[in-house]
Chain A
Amino acid sequence: MIITKQKDIEEIYEMTKPYSKILVAGCDGCCQPPRSINEAKVLAQMLELKARSEGRDLKWKAITVLRQCDDRIAATTLRPFIEEYDAIVSLACGLGVGMLNRIFPTILTFPAQNSMFGGAENNGENYFVEYCETCGDCLLGVTGGICPMAGCAKNLSNGPCGGQVEGKCEVGGYIHDCAWVKIWERLKKFNRLDLFTIYRPPRNYYLWSSPRYIHIYEPISNEEEPKKEEKI
């Protein structure tokens, strides 16, 4: 899921200051950390209090969307309300904010969150962790299932660097695990150090460069079609 962190209330307030009627939209798409109807309501109330302290009147409605990154769901949920409001504040990740701005071109949607990373939740551990950087060229098959792009501060393909001490990374004060020591431990355990010692050539970072598109549907036919040159 996409892990987000709420922006400072001052920053959200400054963005919405020119507007007197706002629609505050939660998102239920990724369930953690929660940013649904209750969070939308609390944020709206805080913005109202701040506005009142400055002698301004702020009208708001809090609502939530099943998934803001799905155009049909977002459009059907929010369309009945947008006419009445000057601006939308979205509690979704950047995908949701981008989507609302695209499907409602007549109204501005502002982000209430900073999108941090695609993360996993380890139940019982008090943090979300980045296991994947969506690089477009998955290495997990040769690294024992541990991603050196997401796990190594230097994104090394041929680690570890000399900065690990007792398996901990120099970045962040020797708290986080060195991904490459973990990869070595795991491959050693499965007697697959052959995978560790191979040289991995420079990566194709073009796959990782924005904006990225993937066609969802390609036409299928039983007729032979002339071969097209592949283009990204």
Chain B
Amino acid sequence: MVNRPAFSNLLKTIREGKFVFTGELEPEKDFDLNHVLHSAEEMKKTGKIVAANVTDGPQGDAYTCSMVPCYLVQEKVGLEAIWQMTVRDRNRIALFGDILGGAILGLKNLLALTGDHSALGDHQNARAVYDLDSTQLIDLVSKMVDDGTDLEGNEIKGGKPQLNVGCAANPNSNPREPEILKVGRKVEVGADFIQTQTSFDVDDAKEFLKELERYNIPVLLGLFPIKNYGIAWYFNEYIPGVSVPKDFLDALKKTKKIKDKKEKYATIDKINLDFYEPFIKEIKKTTKAAGIHCMAVHYERLFEPLFKDF
């Protein structure tokens, strides 16, 4: 495990012992990034979100790159970005160049991911790269940040980039042991923090967090408040390994019949608050989790009421 300085506000806040919240922004096939910036502004307004992830071609789709929205969110909104970077589309040369470029632009957090395979996305004939895997990407960042070199030991001129690097872990993994062991490798090569995939089962999440304690690294548990029944249904039907609890799903289903938009939104928000408030309280009270990564893209209106007591 590395003892790297906290370059980002995210890591500084975690190291101060505060229970932190991070949000998620998703640039899609966009030339206009206003919706991303609007979401970032809404997050910032809550005063509770310390940083927001910016996704890198989720589901293997060809979307606007992650680096530019990260920069704009930091510059125009003043919210710190967590730069998601997958190894799916770039080899070690391109990854190195991008990381250096992003660090020059002032990005402070990088989340190293494998990335959904391109065969699942909208360019299924693409050649997936995977020159490095996500663990090796963390190794690359470590060499750049700690040693000031590339993977071959060639020196970076003018100083070392200042980045903190995170990794992902999936609480829904079954079997779980290889997932836990894999995280160990990532910590060994220099991960500073973990953000997990979404969990809908508090007992299961607690067990997972307990297993990760052995690595002594801050973990942000992923939660996914759901803003309409369609998303919940999609999750249940199409995301294997993830199941939305039946009561939660049924409650959301009933809101389909509500005609009045305002009333519908209020009901959906209440369902989410009833589900997630006790969930977060339980996690905060009974585990060593450093915080919550809230993946509710375009559902920022929930953040204020959900996080107000934390």
Enumerate chain A interface residues (CB-CB to B < 8 A). 153-167, 170-172, 174, 180-181, 184, 188, 193, 196-199, 201-202, 205
User: How long is the Cα–Cα vector from A166 to B128 in the complex, in angstroms?
Assistant: 24
User: How long is the Cα–Cα vector from A231 to B181 in the complex, in angstroms?
Assistant: 39
- Chain A residue contacts of B139, Cβ below 8 A: 199, 201-202
Q: Given A154-B117, A197-B184, A199-B189, A184–B130 Cβ distance below 8 Å?
A: no
B11-19, B43-51, B170-178, B209-217 - interface stretch: B170-178
| Residue B197 is within 8 A (CB to CB) of chain A in the complex | yes
Question: Taking CB as reference atom, which chain A residue is nearest B139?
Answer: A201
Instruction: Contact check, A162 vs B168: say whether CB atoms are below 8 A apart.
Output: yes
Question: Taking CB as reference atom, which chain A residue is nearest B239?
Answer: A165
Question: Taking CB as reference atom, which chain B residue is nearest A155?
Answer: B130
Instruction: Contact check, A199 vs B119: say whether CB atoms are below 8 A apart.
Output: no
From A160, A162, A202, contact of B136 by CB (8 A): A202
Among B126-169, those with CB < 8 Å from A are 128, 130-136, 139-140, 151, 168-169
Question: Which of B120, B168, B169, B175 counts the most A-chain CB atoms under 10 A from its CB?
Answer: B175
Extra 8 A-B pairs, beta carbons < 8 Å, given A161-B133, A170-B120, A202-B139:
A153-B117, A157-B135, A159-B182, A160-B182, A162-B114, A167-B175, A197-B184, A199-B185
Instruction: Contact check, A202 vs B132: say whether CB atoms are below 8 A apart.
Output: yes
From B92, B175, B197, contact of A162 by CB (8 A): B197
Instruction: Contact check, B188 vs A181: say whether CB atoms are below 8 A apart.
Output: no
From B130, B168, B177, contact of A154 by CB (8 A): B130
- Chain A residue contacts of B140, Cβ below 8 A: 202
User: How long is the Cα–Cα vector from A199 to B133 in the complex, in angstroms?
Assistant: 11
Instruction: Contact check, B136 vs A181: say whether CB atoms are below 8 A apart.
Output: no
Instruction: Contact check, B174 vs A166: say whether CB atoms are below 8 A apart.
Output: yes
From A154, A157, A196, contact of B128 by CB (8 A): A154
Q: Which 10 A-B pairs have the closest CB atoms?
A: A165-B241, A162-B170, A158-B135, A184-B178, A161-B114, A165-B240, A156-B133, A199-B185, A154-B130, A171-B117
From A163, A166, A181, A184, contact of B117 by CB (8 A): A163
- Chain B residue contacts of A202, Cβ below 8 A: 92, 131-132, 136, 139-140, 151
Instruction: Contact check, B173 vs A164: say whether CB atoms are below 8 A apart.
Output: yes
Instruction: Contact check, A154 vs B240: say whether CB atoms are below 8 A apart.
Output: no
CB A173 to nearest CB in B, in angstroms, measures 9
Question: Taking CB as reference atom, which chain A residue is nearest B188?
Answer: A199
- Bitwise, B181-195 to A at CB < 8 A (1) or not (0) is 110110011000000
- Chain B residue contacts of A193, Cβ below 8 A: 181
Instruction: Contact check, B182 vs A158: say whether CB atoms are below 8 A apart.
Output: yes
From B119, B136, B170, B241, contact of A157 by CB (8 A): B136
User: How long is the Cα–Cα vector from A166 to B176 in the complex, in angstroms?
Assistant: 9
User: How long is the Cα–Cα vector from A198 to B240 in the complex, in angstroms?
Assistant: 29
- Chain A residue contacts of B173, Cβ below 8 A: 160, 162, 164
